[in-house]
């Protein structure tokens, strides 16, 4: 069971890859925003002929900002998931250590019980021998 849980925890750590991918998205949105700014400047230089292009450049800039914000939010959620998975991983490890410890105590207890059982059997034999010896004496 522990191996299965650990395997699932390791697979869930793939969320870290989402962080890397969203980082790339943020970089792309920053570049897109810069391109939109440059396009706005060129549209302004073109005057009336560039007004339609300026509107498009502005919308692209807004989309870039929104995309960047969404990617940052995904990164925050991903970081929370990674922290939760790591906390579960630590808890599983602590549980496993506890189980091993309890198992070792159970083995020690079983060994002690076996030893006590052997001593009790020995004492029973000795008691039988003593009873036999005492039975040889007659009291008047």
Q: Is residue 63 part of a domain?
A: yes
Is position 61 within any domain? yes
What does the pLDDT read at residue 31?
92
CATH number, domain containing residue 54: 1.10.287.950
**Tens digits of residue pLDDT in 20-33:** 888 899 999 999 99
Residue 43 in any domain: the answer is yes
For residue 70, the model assigns a pLDDT of 92
Does residue 137 fall inside a structural domain? no
- Taking the whole predicted model, whether its pTM rises above 0.95 is answered as no
For the chain, the domain total comes to: 1
Q: Is residue 128 part of a domain?
A: no
User: Domain residues for 66?
Assistant: 2-96
Structural domain includes residue 110: no
Tens of pLDDT, residue by residue over 62-104, are 999 999 999 999 888 888 887 887 887 788 878 778 888 888 8
pLDDT more than 70, % of the chain:
92
Quick check: is 46 in a domain? yes
List, as one string, the DSSP characters of the chain: -HHHHHHHHHHHTTHHHHHHHHHHHHHHHHHHHHHHHHHHHHHHHHGGGGHHHHHHHHHHHHHHHHHHHHHHHHHHHHHHHHHHHHHHHHHHHHHHHHHHHHHHHHHHHHHHHHHHHHHHHHHHHHHHHHHHHHHT----
């Amino acid at each position: 069971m522990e191996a299965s849980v650990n395997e699932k925890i390791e697979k869930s750590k793939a969320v870290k890859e989402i962080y890397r991918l969203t980082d790339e998205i943020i970089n792309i949105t920053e570049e897109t925003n810069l391109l939109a700014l440059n396009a706005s400047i060129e549209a302004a230089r073109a005057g009336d002929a560039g007004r339609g292009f300026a509107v498009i450049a502005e919308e692209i800039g807004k989309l870039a900002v929104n995309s960047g914000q969404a990617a940052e939010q995904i990164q925050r959620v991903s970081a929370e998931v990674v922290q939760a998975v790591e906390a579960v991983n630590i808890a599983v490890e602590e549980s496993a250590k506890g189980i091993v410890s309890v198992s070792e105590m159970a083995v020690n207890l079983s060994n002690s019980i076996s030893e006590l059982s052997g001593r009790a059997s020995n004492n029973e034999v000795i008691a039988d021998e003593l009873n036999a010896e005492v039975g040889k004496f007659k009291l008047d």
